[in-house]
A and B are shown apart, each in its own frame.
Chain A
Amino acid sequence: MQEAMIKRAKELLADGTVNRVIGWKKGEFFYDITPAVFETAEEIDADFVFDDFTSANVSKYLVKESKKEGKILAFLKPCDTYSFNQLIKEHRVVRENVYIIGVPGGPKLDIEKIKAKGITGVLGVKNENFTLKIDTLYGEETMPFYEAICGKCADCKSKKHVIYDELIGEDGDVLDSNRFDMVEKLENMTAQERFEFWREQLSKCIRCNACRNVCPACTCEKCVFDNPNSGVENKAASDSFEENMFHIIRAFHVAGRCTDCGECSRVCPQNIPLHLLNRKFIKDINALYGEYQAGADTTSRAPLNTYDTEDCEPSIVHERGVE
């Protein structure tokens, strides 16, 4: 796959279709890839990588990149295409300046999942029949492939590319995933249990803003939490309230716009399952206002920007689930 992508990228650079390529760049180790823009065939040959660890969603970079001179080639995985579509809908990217090649998605691997098993000093990973053979400073370790995959890939919603100029590899289908299972599990807990669950999770927050800054839906010029005039600016969560506030409002601001790309949870240094907040909104929207997948198209109205005169009342919150 990587070879095919490199070949095509060089062709498109050579024939002038694009003047830049956004993809992923090799790091120090086998897993620490960095999203990068390549301008020459040499750079691509030297550093371009697409493998089990290229999980980063590059669509948000296109907000800036698509406004630059010339056209950029972007390799988008299925989940990334949803983000890109949503950005088109919100006029945040210039579609004409991006040449999109759809590339297959995951499952991608998450090094943190490997390290969480206590495996340290990792030097390399091989996938042999869905068993990972991990070369470490302390000898070889093994673990099942599926225990090391990215959280966002484990709950993959779709293998279909919703926007592209061309594809490398086959297009997939929208999946019937069980991504709402954990939300449902929480809904079925008592309020006290839910409260304790979220206190434990959100109290870990160090307000590094990684979730927000990586989020393709968070493309505000200035976030309300950074804006001293907004009345809610805060730089650190000084109280448990502020931990709640930040994450509730952030989830609310992306409600109906979040494509469930899962980047927020992937980048959280404290492993807070932030995607559950977004998924709660998605699940509610689907149940109350009809199935809606943000980013599936570029024209539909976001559920919070429209209404139906027969919508349910908020009392529905009282009427269902566990108190």
Chain B
Amino acid sequence: MLKIAKNRLNELFAAIAEKQTLYIPVDREDGAAEYRKWENGCEMSGALNTVRSAKDFFFPQTENLVDFKMEGKNIEVIDIRKESEDFVIFGVKACDARSFTILDKVFLVDPVDSYYKTRRDHGTVVTMACTRPSETCFCGVFGIDATAPEGDAACFSDGENIFFKANTEKGQAFIDSISSMLEEGDTAKLDEVQAKTKSILEKLPLANLSTDSFGGARLKEHFNSDKWGELSEACLGCGTCTFVCPTCQCYDIKDFNTGHGIKRFRCWDSCMYSDFTKMAHGNPRLTQLERFRQRFMHKLVYFPANNEGEFGCVGCGRCLSKCPISMNIVKVMKALEVK
């Protein structure tokens, strides 16, 4: 397998960044990690994952769709779409990599979301296999192998070297573009690390969480469950879970008056918000219970119903650690489990 010594990673980043924009996870002063544009001196974070997921690269929190120029009584429509530049996201974890597959099922089916597609086309996802999963990880529940991440190209670390493997043509092209810096390497130590990681994955507290009780067929049973009241009781109705979630894909479209024109933009929305999908007639989900139920029904029932059984969750554990009141999909799944 092709590899590069870990201590040469910065050289590699410099080489990538010469050709296209490179994003890597870096540590912030508060101890959390976030994706930043690589610049000389940036160190890749050793953290398990970033607070915000990698979906931002393809589906940013706010995005301009179209401008209207206004002069007096005249309105002119301006298409602001520009050909996007190529970019690389490096160090995406297996869970986030899977989230792109889920987002694709929403944005790339007819009618195709051209804003999303442009970004997808121009972005190369280079993933990094996990070595130190956390107690909040449960990607395995959704059939994700944290030691063999998807993405255009995948990387694996044995502690001293980073190994590369292409998963797609785009990934192969990426590896080819840096091949001059790579060398063939022995994977014996890597296999050891992988085996160790796998044994940890099996021991994770949430490893035995089951999806058997969920899926499209369970709609009525779960929708009418009397558990929702208790589960949603403490929900603050904030959007933390939604906004840190790599698979949440709801958005709202709004206009902003700049004084000399209108910018029509879309921004993330959260089904936890009281005015989510508010229409002229009013609001379809009036209580926090209904809104709370919507989020989990969507991930565990409606999404698989429409997408060949694929769940709308990748088990990244972000909502587990970030919900202000520690209510999350795992607690919901356990409460609704059909015995």
Asked whether A and B interact, the reply is yes
CB proximity to A under 8 Å, residues B282-338: 320-322, 324-328, 330-331, 334
Q: Which residue of B lies closest to A136 (CB)?
A: B135
Q: Using A34-B327, A117-B31 as known contacts, say yes or no to A214 and B236 having CB atoms under 8 A apart.
A: yes
CB distance from B198 to the nearest CB of A (A): 13
The answer to whether B200 and A137 have CB atoms under 8 Å apart is: yes
| Interface size of A as a range | 35 or more
Chain A residues closer than 8 Å to B242, beta-carbon distance: 208
* A29 and B135 contacting across the interface, CB-CB below 8 Å: yes
Given A120-B134, A236-B268, the answer on whether A208 and B62 have CB atoms closer than 8 Å is: no
Task: Decide if A206 is an interface residue (CB 8 Å cutoff).
Answer: yes
CB–CB A28/B330 < 8 A: yes
The answer to whether B206 and A269 have CB atoms under 8 Å apart is no
Is A314 on the interface with B (CB-CB < 8 A)?
no
CB atoms of B204 and A137 under 8 A apart: yes
Asked if A210 and B267 sit within 8 Å, CB to CB, the answer is no
Q: Is B227 an interface residue (CB 8 A)?
A: no
> Which residues of the partner chain B approach A238 to less than 8 Å between Cβ atoms?
62, 256, 265, 267
B4 at the interface (CB under 8 A from A): no
In this assembly, does B106 line the interface, its C-beta being within 8 Å of a C-beta of chain A?
no
A116: CB under 8 A from chain B? yes
Contacts of B136 in A (CB 8 A): 29
Asked if A143 lies at the interface with its beta carbon under 8 angstroms from chain B, I say no
- Chain A residues with Cβ below 8 Å from B203 are 137
Partner of A32, one of B134, B268, B326: B326
In this complex, the member of A32, A204, A269 whose beta carbon has the largest number of chain B beta carbons within 10 angstroms is A269
A217 CB-CB contact with B under 8 Å: no
CB distance from B265 to the nearest CB of A (A): 6
* Min distance, Cβ A235 to any Cβ of chain B, angstroms: 5
Q: Do B239 and A118 touch (CB < 8 A)?
A: no
| Interface residue? A16 (CB, 8 A) | no
User: Is A207 located at the chain interface by the 8 A CB criterion?
Assistant: yes
Report how far A31 CA is from B323 CA in the complex, Å: 12
B32 A271 Cβ-Cβ under 8 A: yes
Q: With A27-B326, A235-B254, A269-B51 as known contacts, state yes or no: A112 contacts B205, CB within 8 Å.
A: no
Q: A188 interface residue, CB < 8 Å from B? A: no
Which residues of chain A are near B185, meaning CB under 8 Å? none
Query: Counting CB contacts under 8 A, is A254 at the interface?
Result: no
Q: Would you call A210 and B324 a contact (CB within 8 A)?
A: yes
- B52 at the A interface (CB under 8 A): yes
Interface of B is mostly: loop
Complex Cα gap A234–B61 (Å)? 13
Q: Is residue A2 within 8 Å, beta carbon to beta carbon, of the partner chain?
A: no
Contacting residues, chain B, for A208 (C-beta < 8 A): 238-240, 242-244, 270
**In the complex the two chains form, is B267's CB within 8 Å of A235's CB?**
yes
**A210 adjacent to B238 (CB under 8 Å):** yes
B238 touches A214 (CB 8 A): yes
Contact (Cβ within 8 A) B46 A206: no
Query: Is B200 within 8 A of A235, CB to CB?
Result: no
Least CB separation from B60: chain A residue: A236
In the assembled complex, A300 has its CB within 8 A of some CB on chain B: no
Q: Say yes or no: B132 contacts A120, CB within 8 Å.
A: yes
A78 smallest CB distance to B (angstroms): 20
* Bound form: Cα–Cα A212–B230 in Å: 23
Contacts of B34 in A (CB 8 A): 204
Which residues of chain A have C-beta atoms less than 8 A from B265's C-beta?
A: 238
Taking CB as reference atom, which chain B residue is nearest A138? B132
Residues of A within 8 A of B325 (CB): 34-35, 56
**CA of A29 to CA of B330, assembled, Å:** 11
Alpha-carbon gap, A137 to B201, bound state (A) = 10
Min CB distance B245 to A, Å, is: 11
Determine how close the nearest CB of chain B comes to the CB of A174; give it in whole angstroms.
27
Q: Bound complex: CA of A256 vs CA of B93, how far in Å? A: 45
Task: Mark B58-73 against chain A: 1 for CB-CB distance below 8 A, else 0.
Answer: 0001100000000000
**Could you say which of B47, B240, B326 contacts A33, with CB atoms under 8 Å apart?**
B326
Per-residue CB contact flags for chain A residues 41-76 toward chain B (1 = under 8 Å, else 0) read 000000000000000100001000000000000000
Q: Give the shortest distance, in Å, between A28 (CB) and chain B (any CB).
A: 6
Within 8 A of A (CB), among B223-277: 230, 233-234, 236-240, 242-244, 252, 254, 256, 265, 267-270, 273-275
Q: From residue 31 to 68 of chain B, which have CB atoms closer than 8 A to chain A?
A: 31-32, 34, 46-48, 51-52, 61-62
A120 touches B30 (CB 8 A): no
B133 within 8 A of A: yes
Binary interface encoding of chain A residues 106-146 relative to chain B, with 1 for a CB under 8 A from any of its CBs, else 0: 00000110011110111100000000000001100000000
Closest 8 pairs (CB-CB, A-B): A116-B31, A236-B267, A267-B324, A32-B326, A213-B236, A271-B30, A210-B238, A213-B238
Q: List 22 A-B contacts (CB under 8 A).
A: A27-B331, A28-B331, A33-B326, A34-B325, A35-B234, A118-B31, A121-B200, A122-B135, A137-B200, A137-B204, A208-B238, A209-B238, A209-B239, A210-B236, A210-B238, A213-B238, A236-B61, A238-B265, A267-B238, A267-B324, A269-B240, A269-B244
Question: In the complex, given contacts A120-B134, A208-B239, A210-B238, what are 16 additional A-B residue pairs having Cβ atoms less than 8 angstroms apart?
Answer: A29-B205, A32-B326, A35-B234, A36-B230, A112-B31, A116-B32, A121-B204, A122-B134, A207-B61, A208-B270, A210-B324, A214-B324, A222-B274, A238-B267, A267-B324, A271-B30
